[in-house]
Amino acid sequence: MNAHTADTHAITAVLDRLATAWNRGDGAAYGAQFTADATYITYVGTLYIGAQEIGDAHQALFDSFLKGTNLASQTLSIRFTGPDTALVITRGDTYKGKPGKPGKLHKIQTYTLLRRPGGDWKIAAFQNTKHQAVMEAISFAFQPASKPAATHA
């Protein structure tokens, strides 16, 4: 197994722990996947700073608006930008119902992960954007040159 393969597995494990914590409604375990100074931007534009704030805010959400929701995620790419940094692009969403039965994944996330001293990976930055398919189609219709070369389903 080469270094990138091992790192890819380690990074995927971080994202799996994140989803498991979400699905359990466990804000502390969710926040534990982030660095102490991480930045977290929600799709509505809320900025949280630090693992503690991220975990505390999510616990409040898990106890109210997000109660009983599951997190679905599909990794689109993992790109290593250095020996201890990686950029991860995912498509994801939250849903209610049986785990493993999400609908369409309407959001796109960017994660920046860092390898910490000791070798474990943590999320240092997160950005979540809700895909606006209608607005995107209108934009492409009026300016076809703005359409990406590949479809990132």
Contacts of 44 (CB under 8 A, 6+ apart): none
User: What is the domain count for the chain?
Assistant: 1
> Cα–Cα distance between 151 and 115 in angstroms, integer?
30
77: in domain: yes
Under the banding of pLDDT at 50, 70 and 90, the label for residue 33 is very high
Pairing verdict, β 85-96 and 107-115: antiparallel
pLDDT of residue 2: 60
52: in domain: yes
7: in domain: yes
28: in domain: yes
153: in domain: no
**Full domain range(s) for residue 106:** 3-146
CA quadruple 139, 142, 147, 152: dihedral, nearest 10: 40
Mean pLDDT of 6-33: 97
As given in the structure block, the two tokens for residue 59 are 């616990």
**What is the pTM assigned to this prediction?**
0.88
Give the DSSP H/E element, type plus range, for residue 121: strand 121-130
What CATH code is carried by the domain that includes residue 96? 3.10.450.50
152: in domain: no
Q: For the chain, give the mean pLDDT.
A: 91
Phi, psi at residue 81, to the nearest 5°? -105, 0
Mean pLDDT of 109-121: 95
